[in-house]
Chains A and B, each alone.
Chain A
Protein backbone atom coordinates (compact mmCIF):
# COMPACT_ATOMS: atom_id res chain seq x y z
CA UNK A 1 0.00 0.00 0.00
CA UNK A 2 2.78 2.35 0.99
CA UNK A 3 4.64 1.86 -2.24
CA UNK A 4 1.50 2.45 -4.25
CA UNK A 5 0.83 5.78 -2.61
CA UNK A 6 4.45 6.78 -3.13
CA UNK A 7 4.10 6.10 -6.83
CA UNK A 8 0.98 8.19 -6.97
CA UNK A 9 2.58 11.31 -5.57
CA UNK A 10 5.46 11.03 -8.01
CA UNK A 11 3.05 10.74 -10.87
CA UNK A 12 1.14 13.82 -9.77
CA UNK A 13 4.29 15.90 -9.54
CA UNK A 14 5.31 14.79 -13.00
CA UNK A 15 1.92 15.59 -14.45
CA UNK A 16 1.99 19.10 -13.10
CA UNK A 17 5.46 19.76 -14.40
CA UNK A 18 4.93 18.22 -17.83
CA UNK A 19 4.87 21.52 -19.62
CA UNK A 20 8.21 22.63 -18.27
CA UNK A 21 9.92 19.28 -18.41
CA UNK A 22 9.00 18.61 -22.00
CA UNK A 23 10.39 21.89 -23.10
CA UNK A 24 13.60 22.00 -21.09
CA UNK A 25 14.89 18.50 -20.43
CA UNK A 26 12.69 15.58 -21.43
CA UNK A 27 15.27 13.07 -20.13
CA UNK A 28 14.25 13.78 -16.52
CA UNK A 29 10.79 12.37 -17.15
CA UNK A 30 12.08 8.98 -18.06
CA UNK A 31 14.42 8.73 -15.09
CA UNK A 32 14.41 5.42 -13.25
CA UNK A 33 11.64 5.31 -10.64
CA UNK A 34 12.45 3.13 -7.61
CA UNK A 35 9.72 1.82 -5.33
CA UNK A 36 10.66 3.93 -2.32
CA UNK A 37 12.63 6.59 -4.11
CA UNK A 38 11.57 10.21 -4.05
CA UNK A 39 12.97 12.28 -6.82
CA UNK A 40 14.67 14.97 -4.85
CA UNK A 41 16.00 16.66 -7.93
CA UNK A 42 12.53 17.51 -9.20
CA UNK A 43 11.67 20.26 -6.76
CA UNK A 44 14.85 22.31 -7.31
CA UNK A 45 14.45 21.85 -11.04
CA UNK A 46 10.88 23.12 -11.03
CA UNK A 47 11.90 25.99 -8.82
CA UNK A 48 14.68 26.85 -11.22
CA UNK A 49 12.29 26.72 -14.17
CA UNK A 50 9.71 28.78 -12.35
CA UNK A 51 12.22 31.47 -11.46
CA UNK A 52 13.48 31.58 -15.03
CA UNK A 53 9.93 32.03 -16.26
CA UNK A 54 9.32 34.86 -13.79
CA UNK A 55 12.58 36.53 -14.82
CA UNK A 56 11.63 36.38 -18.47
CA UNK A 57 8.46 38.40 -17.88
CA UNK A 58 5.08 38.10 -19.55
CA UNK A 59 4.77 36.51 -22.97
CA UNK A 60 4.54 39.19 -25.68
CA UNK A 61 1.10 39.41 -27.26
CA UNK A 62 0.80 37.78 -30.67
CA UNK A 63 -1.49 39.08 -33.39
CA UNK A 64 -4.72 37.13 -33.75
CA UNK A 65 -3.95 36.70 -37.43
CA UNK A 66 -0.97 34.51 -36.61
CA UNK A 67 -3.26 31.82 -35.19
CA UNK A 68 -4.22 28.78 -37.15
CA UNK A 69 -7.93 29.59 -37.16
CA UNK A 70 -7.86 32.89 -38.99
CA UNK A 71 -9.39 33.83 -42.30
CA UNK A 72 -9.09 37.52 -43.08
CA UNK A 73 -11.76 37.56 -45.79
CA UNK A 74 -14.29 35.79 -43.58
CA UNK A 75 -13.54 38.17 -40.75
CA UNK A 76 -13.99 41.19 -43.02
CA UNK A 77 -17.33 39.85 -44.24
CA UNK A 78 -18.52 39.16 -40.68
CA UNK A 79 -17.36 42.60 -39.50
CA UNK A 80 -19.80 44.39 -41.79
CA UNK A 81 -22.64 41.96 -41.16
CA UNK A 82 -22.20 42.19 -37.41
CA UNK A 83 -22.58 45.97 -37.45
CA UNK A 84 -25.56 45.69 -39.80
CA UNK A 85 -23.83 47.50 -42.67
CA UNK A 86 -23.12 46.52 -46.29
CA UNK A 87 -19.50 47.26 -47.08
CA UNK A 88 -17.69 46.60 -50.32
CA UNK A 89 -14.84 44.19 -49.61
CA UNK A 90 -12.23 46.30 -51.30
CA UNK A 91 -13.20 49.51 -49.50
CA UNK A 92 -13.30 47.82 -46.14
CA UNK A 93 -9.93 46.20 -46.74
CA UNK A 94 -8.57 49.58 -47.70
CA UNK A 95 -9.98 51.12 -44.52
CA UNK A 96 -8.00 48.66 -42.41
CA UNK A 97 -4.75 49.04 -44.35
CA UNK A 98 -2.45 51.69 -42.92
CA UNK A 99 0.36 53.42 -44.77
CA UNK A 100 2.96 51.93 -42.42
CA UNK A 101 1.81 48.43 -43.43
CA UNK A 102 2.02 49.19 -47.15
CA UNK A 103 5.51 50.60 -46.74
CA UNK A 104 6.61 47.56 -44.76
CA UNK A 105 5.28 45.20 -47.44
CA UNK A 106 6.92 47.23 -50.18
CA UNK A 107 10.30 47.11 -48.52
CA UNK A 108 9.89 43.35 -48.00
CA UNK A 109 9.20 42.82 -51.67
CA UNK A 110 12.00 45.10 -52.71
CA UNK A 111 14.39 43.14 -50.52
CA UNK A 112 13.34 39.80 -51.95
CA UNK A 113 12.56 40.50 -55.63
CA UNK A 114 14.79 43.47 -56.37
CA UNK A 115 12.18 46.04 -57.25
CA UNK A 116 9.30 43.97 -58.57
CA UNK A 117 6.28 45.94 -57.35
CA UNK A 118 3.64 44.38 -59.48
CA UNK A 119 2.54 41.95 -56.76
CA UNK A 120 1.52 44.66 -54.33
CA UNK A 121 -2.10 45.79 -54.60
CA UNK A 122 -2.58 47.38 -51.20
CA UNK A 123 -4.06 50.83 -50.91
CA UNK A 124 -3.62 52.81 -47.74
CA UNK A 125 -6.52 54.39 -45.92
CA UNK A 126 -5.37 58.03 -45.62
CA UNK A 127 -8.15 59.55 -47.69
CA UNK A 128 -10.76 57.48 -45.84
CA UNK A 129 -9.36 58.64 -42.49
CA UNK A 130 -9.62 62.30 -43.43
CA UNK A 131 -13.10 61.98 -44.95
CA UNK A 132 -14.30 59.91 -41.99
CA UNK A 133 -12.95 62.38 -39.46
CA UNK A 134 -14.61 65.32 -41.21
CA UNK A 135 -17.90 63.44 -41.25
CA UNK A 136 -17.68 62.46 -37.58
CA UNK A 137 -16.74 65.96 -36.55
CA UNK A 138 -19.44 67.70 -38.60
CA UNK A 139 -22.19 65.34 -37.56
CA UNK A 140 -21.36 65.46 -33.84
CA UNK A 141 -21.48 69.25 -33.88
CA UNK A 142 -24.73 69.40 -35.87
CA UNK A 143 -26.35 66.78 -33.62
CA UNK A 144 -25.34 68.58 -30.44
CA UNK A 145 -26.48 71.95 -31.79
CA UNK A 146 -29.82 70.39 -32.66
CA UNK A 147 -30.31 69.08 -29.13
CA UNK A 148 -28.80 71.98 -27.21
CA UNK A 149 -29.73 75.10 -29.19
CA UNK A 150 -28.95 77.46 -26.29
CA UNK A 151 -25.63 75.90 -25.34
CA UNK A 152 -22.77 78.23 -26.37
CA UNK A 153 -20.53 77.22 -29.22
CA UNK A 154 -17.52 76.87 -26.89
CA UNK A 155 -19.41 74.22 -24.94
CA UNK A 156 -20.39 72.39 -28.11
CA UNK A 157 -16.73 72.33 -29.14
CA UNK A 158 -15.71 71.02 -25.73
CA UNK A 159 -18.16 68.12 -25.95
CA UNK A 160 -17.07 67.51 -29.54
CA UNK A 161 -13.42 67.43 -28.44
CA UNK A 162 -14.28 64.91 -25.74
CA UNK A 163 -16.03 62.65 -28.23
CA UNK A 164 -13.25 62.78 -30.81
CA UNK A 165 -10.29 62.09 -28.57
CA UNK A 166 -8.11 59.18 -29.67
CA UNK A 167 -8.79 57.53 -26.32
CA UNK A 168 -12.57 57.41 -26.78
CA UNK A 169 -12.51 56.46 -30.46
CA UNK A 170 -9.96 53.72 -29.70
CA UNK A 171 -12.26 52.41 -26.97
CA UNK A 172 -15.13 52.21 -29.44
CA UNK A 173 -12.88 50.61 -32.04
CA UNK A 174 -11.78 47.96 -29.56
CA UNK A 175 -15.37 47.10 -28.71
CA UNK A 176 -16.64 46.68 -32.24
CA UNK A 177 -13.87 44.27 -33.19
CA UNK A 178 -11.55 46.50 -35.22
CA UNK A 179 -8.40 45.56 -33.31
CA UNK A 180 -7.79 42.15 -34.89
CA UNK A 181 -8.37 43.33 -38.44
CA UNK A 182 -5.92 46.23 -38.53
CA UNK A 183 -3.10 45.95 -41.05
CA UNK A 184 -0.45 48.17 -39.59
CA UNK A 185 3.28 48.02 -38.86
CA UNK A 186 2.84 48.66 -35.15
CA UNK A 187 1.65 45.85 -32.93
CA UNK A 188 -0.15 45.91 -30.55
CA UNK A 189 -2.03 48.72 -32.24
CA UNK A 190 -1.66 52.07 -30.50
CA UNK A 191 -4.63 54.21 -29.50
CA UNK A 192 -3.91 56.49 -32.41
CA UNK A 193 -3.96 53.62 -34.90
CA UNK A 194 -7.21 52.27 -33.50
CA UNK A 195 -8.83 55.69 -33.60
CA UNK A 196 -7.60 56.32 -37.16
CA UNK A 197 -8.95 52.94 -38.26
CA UNK A 198 -12.35 53.75 -36.78
CA UNK A 199 -12.39 57.02 -38.71
CA UNK A 200 -11.42 55.14 -41.88
CA UNK A 201 -14.27 52.67 -41.33
CA UNK A 202 -16.72 55.57 -41.09
CA UNK A 203 -15.15 57.02 -44.25
CA UNK A 204 -15.53 53.67 -45.99
CA UNK A 205 -19.17 53.50 -44.97
CA UNK A 206 -19.81 56.97 -46.33
CA UNK A 207 -18.07 55.91 -49.55
CA UNK A 208 -20.11 52.72 -49.94
CA UNK A 209 -23.49 53.54 -48.42
CA UNK A 210 -23.67 57.31 -48.47
CA UNK A 211 -23.47 60.03 -45.88
CA UNK A 212 -26.75 59.26 -44.16
CA UNK A 213 -25.84 55.68 -43.21
CA UNK A 214 -22.43 56.81 -41.99
CA UNK A 215 -24.01 59.50 -39.83
CA UNK A 216 -26.37 57.02 -38.22
CA UNK A 217 -23.32 54.83 -37.58
CA UNK A 218 -21.70 57.77 -35.76
CA UNK A 219 -24.91 58.39 -33.84
CA UNK A 220 -25.15 54.76 -32.73
CA UNK A 221 -21.54 54.23 -31.75
CA UNK A 222 -19.97 57.60 -30.93
CA UNK A 223 -22.81 59.76 -29.64
CA UNK A 224 -24.16 57.01 -27.39
CA UNK A 225 -20.98 57.52 -25.37
CA UNK A 226 -22.66 60.64 -23.95
CA UNK A 227 -25.09 58.45 -22.00
CA UNK A 228 -24.47 58.89 -18.30
CA UNK A 229 -22.02 61.76 -18.89
CA UNK A 230 -22.66 65.33 -17.84
CA UNK A 231 -21.88 67.71 -20.69
CA UNK A 232 -21.53 70.57 -18.22
CA UNK A 233 -18.51 68.82 -16.73
CA UNK A 234 -16.73 68.91 -20.07
CA UNK A 235 -16.78 72.69 -20.27
CA UNK A 236 -15.98 74.85 -17.27
CA UNK A 237 -16.95 78.52 -17.31
CA UNK A 238 -14.47 80.95 -15.77
CA UNK A 239 -16.17 83.47 -13.46
CA UNK A 240 -19.73 82.17 -13.80
CA UNK A 241 -21.22 85.03 -11.78
CA UNK A 242 -19.69 87.62 -14.10
CA UNK A 243 -21.09 85.82 -17.13
CA UNK A 244 -24.51 85.58 -15.48
CA UNK A 245 -24.52 89.31 -14.67
CA UNK A 246 -23.68 90.13 -18.29
CA UNK A 247 -26.35 87.86 -19.73
CA UNK A 248 -29.09 89.09 -17.39
CA UNK A 249 -28.11 92.69 -18.05
CA UNK A 250 -28.31 92.26 -21.81
CA UNK A 251 -31.63 90.44 -21.52
CA UNK A 252 -32.92 93.41 -19.53
CA UNK A 253 -33.73 91.30 -16.51
CA UNK A 254 -32.97 92.16 -12.92
CA UNK A 255 -29.42 91.53 -11.74
CA UNK A 256 -28.70 88.28 -9.88
CA UNK A 257 -29.38 88.50 -6.14
CA UNK A 258 -27.84 85.69 -4.09
CA UNK A 259 -29.85 84.71 -1.00
CA UNK A 260 -29.09 82.15 1.68
CA UNK A 261 -31.84 79.50 1.54
CA UNK A 262 -30.62 76.99 4.11
CA UNK A 263 -27.67 76.55 6.40
CA UNK A 264 -26.61 74.04 8.99
CA UNK A 265 -23.73 73.69 11.43
CA UNK A 266 -22.23 77.14 10.86
CA UNK A 267 -20.02 76.77 13.92
CA UNK A 268 -18.85 73.25 13.04
CA UNK A 269 -16.36 72.07 10.44
CA UNK A 270 -19.15 70.28 8.56
CA UNK A 271 -21.08 73.43 7.77
CA UNK A 272 -23.28 73.52 4.69
CA UNK A 273 -24.95 76.47 3.01
CA UNK A 274 -27.52 76.49 0.22
CA UNK A 275 -27.60 79.66 -1.82
CA UNK A 276 -30.32 80.57 -4.29
CA UNK A 277 -29.94 83.20 -6.99
CA UNK A 278 -32.94 85.39 -7.73
CA UNK A 279 -33.60 87.68 -10.64
CA UNK A 280 -36.73 89.83 -10.51
CA UNK A 281 -37.80 87.86 -7.40
CA UNK A 282 -37.68 84.63 -9.37
CA UNK A 283 -35.41 81.74 -8.39
CA UNK A 284 -33.10 81.09 -11.33
CA UNK A 285 -30.59 78.75 -9.71
CA UNK A 286 -29.56 77.21 -6.41
CA UNK A 287 -26.69 75.09 -5.14
CA UNK A 288 -25.11 73.92 -1.89
CA UNK A 289 -21.54 74.56 -0.78
CA UNK A 290 -19.13 74.29 2.12
CA UNK A 291 -19.01 78.08 2.49
CA UNK A 292 -21.43 80.78 1.32
CA UNK A 293 -18.90 81.88 -1.32
CA UNK A 294 -18.57 78.43 -2.85
CA UNK A 295 -22.34 77.94 -2.72
CA UNK A 296 -22.87 81.26 -4.49
CA UNK A 297 -20.47 80.34 -7.27
CA UNK A 298 -22.07 76.93 -7.75
CA UNK A 299 -25.51 78.54 -7.74
CA UNK A 300 -24.34 80.85 -10.53
CA UNK A 301 -23.19 77.78 -12.48
CA UNK A 302 -26.61 76.23 -11.88
CA UNK A 303 -28.37 79.37 -13.11
CA UNK A 304 -26.23 79.31 -16.27
CA UNK A 305 -27.10 75.64 -16.80
CA UNK A 306 -30.78 76.52 -16.69
CA UNK A 307 -30.26 79.45 -19.07
CA UNK A 308 -28.43 77.16 -21.50
CA UNK A 309 -31.11 74.42 -21.01
CA UNK A 310 -28.51 71.84 -20.01
CA UNK A 311 -29.73 71.24 -16.46
CA UNK A 312 -29.74 67.74 -14.99
CA UNK A 313 -33.41 67.21 -15.80
CA UNK A 314 -32.89 67.91 -19.52
CA UNK A 315 -34.53 65.54 -21.98
CA UNK A 316 -32.30 62.65 -23.03
CA UNK A 317 -30.63 62.68 -26.46
CA UNK A 318 -32.42 60.92 -29.30
CA UNK A 319 -31.08 57.51 -30.24
CA UNK A 320 -32.56 54.49 -31.96
CA UNK A 321 -35.96 55.06 -33.53
CA UNK A 322 -36.09 58.67 -32.36
CA UNK A 323 -32.62 59.28 -33.74
CA UNK A 324 -33.68 57.98 -37.16
CA UNK A 325 -36.42 60.63 -37.39
CA UNK A 326 -34.20 63.63 -36.67
CA UNK A 327 -34.17 66.55 -39.08
CA UNK A 328 -30.94 68.28 -38.36
CA UNK A 329 -30.22 71.73 -39.75
CA UNK A 330 -26.56 71.63 -40.83
CA UNK A 331 -26.12 75.35 -41.36
CA UNK A 332 -27.20 76.68 -37.98
CA UNK A 333 -24.61 77.61 -35.42
CA UNK A 334 -25.09 78.28 -31.74
CA UNK A 335 -24.32 81.71 -30.29
CA UNK A 336 -20.82 82.14 -28.91
CA UNK A 337 -20.45 83.09 -25.29
CA UNK A 338 -19.24 86.60 -26.20
CA UNK A 339 -22.02 87.47 -28.58
CA UNK A 340 -24.56 85.14 -26.98
CA UNK A 341 -26.32 88.09 -25.51
CA UNK A 342 -26.66 90.05 -28.73
CA UNK A 343 -28.17 87.14 -30.65
CA UNK A 344 -30.71 86.60 -27.87
CA UNK A 345 -31.84 90.16 -28.36
CA UNK A 346 -32.24 89.61 -32.07
CA UNK A 347 -34.33 86.48 -31.43
CA UNK A 348 -36.60 88.31 -29.05
CA UNK A 349 -37.03 91.18 -31.51
CA UNK A 350 -37.94 88.80 -34.33
CA UNK A 351 -40.43 86.86 -32.21
Chain B
Protein backbone atom coordinates (compact mmCIF):
# COMPACT_ATOMS: atom_id res chain seq x y z
CA UNK B 1 0.00 0.00 0.00
CA UNK B 2 1.41 3.36 -1.04
CA UNK B 3 1.39 5.92 1.72
CA UNK B 4 0.84 9.59 1.10
CA UNK B 5 3.48 11.95 2.54
CA UNK B 6 1.07 12.98 5.29
CA UNK B 7 0.38 9.41 6.37
CA UNK B 8 4.09 8.66 6.22
CA UNK B 9 5.12 11.46 8.60
CA UNK B 10 2.26 10.64 10.98
CA UNK B 11 3.44 7.07 11.21
CA UNK B 12 7.03 8.22 11.55
CA UNK B 13 6.03 10.38 14.52
CA UNK B 14 3.96 7.65 16.15
CA UNK B 15 6.88 5.24 16.13
CA UNK B 16 9.56 7.86 16.85
CA UNK B 17 11.93 7.02 19.68
CA UNK B 18 12.21 9.49 22.52
CA UNK B 19 15.50 9.96 24.37
CA UNK B 20 14.95 10.19 28.12
CA UNK B 21 17.52 11.35 30.66
CA UNK B 22 17.61 9.74 34.08
CA UNK B 23 19.69 11.19 36.92
CA UNK B 24 20.71 8.29 39.18
CA UNK B 25 22.20 10.57 41.83
CA UNK B 26 21.22 9.18 45.26
CA UNK B 27 18.71 6.78 43.67
CA UNK B 28 18.14 3.14 44.44
CA UNK B 29 19.39 1.22 41.36
CA UNK B 30 16.85 -1.57 41.81
CA UNK B 31 13.81 0.64 42.04
CA UNK B 32 15.15 2.86 39.25
CA UNK B 33 15.68 -0.06 36.91
CA UNK B 34 12.02 -1.01 37.16
CA UNK B 35 11.19 2.37 35.71
CA UNK B 36 14.01 2.33 33.17
CA UNK B 37 13.04 -1.14 31.91
CA UNK B 38 9.43 0.07 31.54
CA UNK B 39 10.54 2.91 29.27
CA UNK B 40 13.06 0.78 27.36
CA UNK B 41 10.24 -1.58 26.37
CA UNK B 42 7.92 1.28 25.47
CA UNK B 43 5.28 0.16 27.94
CA UNK B 44 4.35 3.77 28.67
CA UNK B 45 2.99 4.19 25.12
CA UNK B 46 -0.62 3.55 24.16
CA UNK B 47 0.61 1.82 20.98
CA UNK B 48 2.67 -0.71 22.97
CA UNK B 49 2.69 -4.28 21.77
CA UNK B 50 5.05 -6.94 23.12
CA UNK B 51 6.13 -8.03 19.64
CA UNK B 52 6.95 -4.59 18.24
CA UNK B 53 10.12 -2.77 19.14
CA UNK B 54 8.87 0.68 20.01
CA UNK B 55 10.88 1.28 23.17
CA UNK B 56 12.63 4.53 23.94
CA UNK B 57 16.25 5.38 24.69
CA UNK B 58 17.26 6.06 28.29
CA UNK B 59 20.45 7.93 29.14
CA UNK B 60 21.40 7.31 32.78
CA UNK B 61 23.84 9.78 34.34
CA UNK B 62 25.60 9.84 37.73
CA UNK B 63 25.53 6.06 38.02
CA UNK B 64 28.59 6.33 40.30
CA UNK B 65 26.46 8.13 42.89
CA UNK B 66 23.69 5.59 43.31
CA UNK B 67 22.55 4.81 46.85
CA UNK B 68 21.92 1.40 48.39
CA UNK B 69 19.89 1.07 51.55
CA UNK B 70 20.99 -0.64 54.76
CA UNK B 71 24.16 -2.66 54.41
CA UNK B 72 23.48 -3.71 50.85
CA UNK B 73 26.84 -2.52 49.52
CA UNK B 74 28.32 -5.33 51.59
CA UNK B 75 25.55 -7.92 51.64
CA UNK B 76 24.13 -7.74 48.11
CA UNK B 77 25.87 -10.35 46.01
CA UNK B 78 26.10 -10.55 42.23
CA UNK B 79 26.58 -14.12 41.11
CA UNK B 80 27.60 -15.40 37.71
CA UNK B 81 28.56 -18.64 36.14
CA UNK B 82 30.73 -18.96 33.06
CA UNK B 83 29.12 -22.29 32.17
CA UNK B 84 32.38 -24.15 32.59
CA UNK B 85 33.49 -26.22 35.51
CA UNK B 86 34.41 -24.13 38.55
CA UNK B 87 33.18 -21.08 36.73
CA UNK B 88 30.93 -19.80 39.48
CA UNK B 89 31.87 -16.42 40.89
CA UNK B 90 30.22 -14.18 43.44
CA UNK B 91 31.04 -10.55 43.99
CA UNK B 92 29.73 -8.09 46.54
CA UNK B 93 28.01 -4.94 45.33
CA UNK B 94 30.81 -2.62 46.44
CA UNK B 95 33.36 -4.69 44.51
CA UNK B 96 31.28 -4.62 41.35
CA UNK B 97 30.69 -0.90 41.75
CA UNK B 98 34.37 -0.19 42.28
CA UNK B 99 35.34 -2.09 39.14
CA UNK B 100 32.72 -0.48 36.91
CA UNK B 101 30.36 2.17 38.30
CA UNK B 102 27.81 1.51 35.51
CA UNK B 103 27.59 -2.22 36.12
CA UNK B 104 24.99 -2.36 38.92
CA UNK B 105 22.41 -0.40 36.97
CA UNK B 106 23.11 -2.35 33.80
CA UNK B 107 22.78 -5.69 35.54
CA UNK B 108 19.60 -4.80 37.38
CA UNK B 109 17.93 -3.37 34.25
CA UNK B 110 18.96 -6.49 32.34
CA UNK B 111 17.37 -8.70 34.96
CA UNK B 112 14.11 -6.76 34.78
CA UNK B 113 13.72 -7.06 31.00
CA UNK B 114 11.86 -10.13 29.74
CA UNK B 115 14.19 -12.87 28.63
CA UNK B 116 13.33 -12.94 24.96
CA UNK B 117 15.06 -12.04 21.71
CA UNK B 118 14.20 -8.38 22.12
CA UNK B 119 16.29 -8.03 25.29
CA UNK B 120 19.51 -7.35 23.41
CA UNK B 121 17.84 -4.56 21.44
CA UNK B 122 16.38 -3.05 24.58
CA UNK B 123 19.77 -3.08 26.30
CA UNK B 124 21.36 -1.39 23.28
CA UNK B 125 19.07 1.55 23.92
CA UNK B 126 20.30 2.00 27.47
CA UNK B 127 23.22 4.43 27.79
CA UNK B 128 24.85 4.64 31.23
CA UNK B 129 27.43 7.23 32.27
CA UNK B 130 29.14 7.25 35.69
CA UNK B 131 28.93 11.03 36.03
CA UNK B 132 27.56 14.08 34.26
CA UNK B 133 30.13 13.93 31.46
CA UNK B 134 27.90 12.72 28.65
CA UNK B 135 29.15 12.91 25.04
CA UNK B 136 27.48 15.93 23.39
CA UNK B 137 26.15 13.76 20.53
CA UNK B 138 24.17 11.73 23.05
CA UNK B 139 23.07 14.72 25.11
CA UNK B 140 21.78 16.49 21.99
CA UNK B 141 19.36 13.63 21.33
CA UNK B 142 17.76 13.96 24.75
CA UNK B 143 14.17 15.17 24.62
CA UNK B 144 12.88 14.81 28.13
CA UNK B 145 13.86 13.78 31.62
CA UNK B 146 12.42 11.01 33.74
CA UNK B 147 11.40 11.86 37.27
CA UNK B 148 13.63 10.15 39.87
CA UNK B 149 12.22 7.55 42.22
CA UNK B 150 13.37 8.95 45.57
CA UNK B 151 13.61 12.40 47.05
CA UNK B 152 17.17 13.35 47.90
CA UNK B 153 17.68 14.15 51.60
CA UNK B 154 19.91 17.03 52.65
CA UNK B 155 23.06 15.86 54.41
CA UNK B 156 24.50 17.58 57.48
CA UNK B 157 27.51 18.82 55.52
CA UNK B 158 25.17 20.49 53.02
CA UNK B 159 23.81 22.81 55.72
CA UNK B 160 25.69 26.07 56.24
CA UNK B 161 27.38 26.69 59.55
CA UNK B 162 24.85 29.38 60.41
CA UNK B 163 21.94 27.01 59.80
CA UNK B 164 23.51 24.49 62.12
CA UNK B 165 24.09 27.13 64.79
CA UNK B 166 20.55 28.43 64.55
CA UNK B 167 19.00 25.00 64.78
CA UNK B 168 16.56 25.10 67.75
CA UNK B 169 17.96 23.50 70.83
CA UNK B 170 15.22 21.40 72.31
CA UNK B 171 16.74 20.58 75.68
CA UNK B 172 19.99 20.69 77.67
CA UNK B 173 21.73 17.59 78.90
CA UNK B 174 21.81 17.45 82.70
CA UNK B 175 25.22 18.16 84.26
CA UNK B 176 25.69 14.61 85.47
CA UNK B 177 24.43 12.94 82.30
CA UNK B 178 26.87 10.55 80.77
CA UNK B 179 26.43 9.70 77.07
CA UNK B 180 26.48 5.99 76.37
CA UNK B 181 29.71 5.25 74.61
CA UNK B 182 28.04 2.71 72.34
CA UNK B 183 29.57 -0.32 70.72
CA UNK B 184 32.74 0.58 68.87
CA UNK B 185 32.36 0.02 65.09
CA UNK B 186 34.79 -2.44 63.64
CA UNK B 187 36.01 -1.36 60.27
CA UNK B 188 38.28 -3.23 57.95
CA UNK B 189 41.84 -1.95 58.24
CA UNK B 190 40.87 0.51 60.96
CA UNK B 191 41.43 0.30 64.64
CA UNK B 192 38.34 0.52 66.79
CA UNK B 193 38.04 3.99 68.21
CA UNK B 194 37.82 4.26 71.94
CA UNK B 195 34.79 5.95 73.42
CA UNK B 196 36.84 8.35 75.47
CA UNK B 197 38.72 9.56 72.37
CA UNK B 198 35.50 10.02 70.45
CA UNK B 199 33.96 12.22 73.10
CA UNK B 200 36.91 14.55 73.11
Contacts and interface: CB of A to CB of B under 8 A. Distances in A.
Interface of A: 230, 232-233, 262-268, 270, 272, 274, 287-290, 294-295, 298, 301
Contacts of B7: 233
A272 B12 contact: yes
Contacts of A274: 13
A293 to B, nearest CB: 12
B6 A266 contact: no
B140 A267 contact: yes
B141 A265 contact: yes
B9 A265 contact: no
Contacts of B19: 264-265
B8 to A, nearest CB: 9
6 contacts: A230-B6, A233-B7, A264-B143, A274-B13, A288-B9, A298-B9
B138 to A, nearest CB: 8
Nearest to B16: A272
Q: How large is the interface on B (under 10, 10 to 19, 20 to 34, 35 or more residues)?
A: 10 to 19
Given A233-B4, A298-B6, A301-B6, A265 B13 contact: no
Interface string B1-32: 00011110110110011110000000000000
A268 to B, nearest CB: 6
A290 B9 CA distance: 7
B71 to A, nearest CB: 41
A287 B9 contact: yes
B9 A268 contact: no
B6 A264 contact: no
Nearest to B8: A290
Nearest to A262: B143
A289 B10 CA distance: 8
Nearest to A266: B140
A295 B16 contact: no
Given A264-B18, A264-B19, A301-B6, A272 B141 contact: no
A265 B12 contact: no
A294 B9 contact: yes
Contacts of B5: 294, 298
Give the one of B16, B57, B141 with max A CB within 10 A.
B16
Nearest to A264: B143
A270 B14 CA distance: 12
B13 A288 contact: yes
A270 B16 contact: yes
Contacts of A233: 4, 6-7
B175 interface: no
Contacts of B16: 264-265, 270, 272, 288
B137 A267 contact: yes
Given A232-B6, A265-B17, A265-B19, A289 B12 contact: yes
Contacts of B12: 272, 288-290
A268 B138 CA distance: 9
A267 B6 contact: no
B6 A270 contact: no
Contacts of B13: 272, 274, 288
Contacts of A294: 5, 9
A268 B141 contact: yes
Given A233-B7, A264-B17, A274-B13, 19 more contacts: A230-B4, A230-B6, A233-B4, A262-B143, A264-B19, A264-B143, A266-B140, A267-B138, A267-B141, A272-B12, A272-B13, A272-B16, A287-B6, A288-B9, A288-B10, A288-B16, A289-B9, A290-B12, A295-B9
A267 B136 CA distance: 10
A288 B7 CA distance: 10
Residue among A264, A270, A272 with max Cβ neighbours from chain B (10 Å): A264
A307 to B, nearest CB: 16
Top 4 nearest A-B pairs (CB, nearest first) are A288-B13, A272-B16, A264-B143, A267-B137
A232 B4 CA distance: 10
Contacts of A298: 5-6, 9
B63 to A, nearest CB: 22
A262 B57 CA distance: 16
A262 B141 CA distance: 12
Contacts of A290: 9, 12
Nearest to A265: B141
Interface string B174-194: 000000000000000000000
A270 B141 CA distance: 10
A288 B10 CA distance: 7
Interface string B131-162: 00000011011010000000000000000000
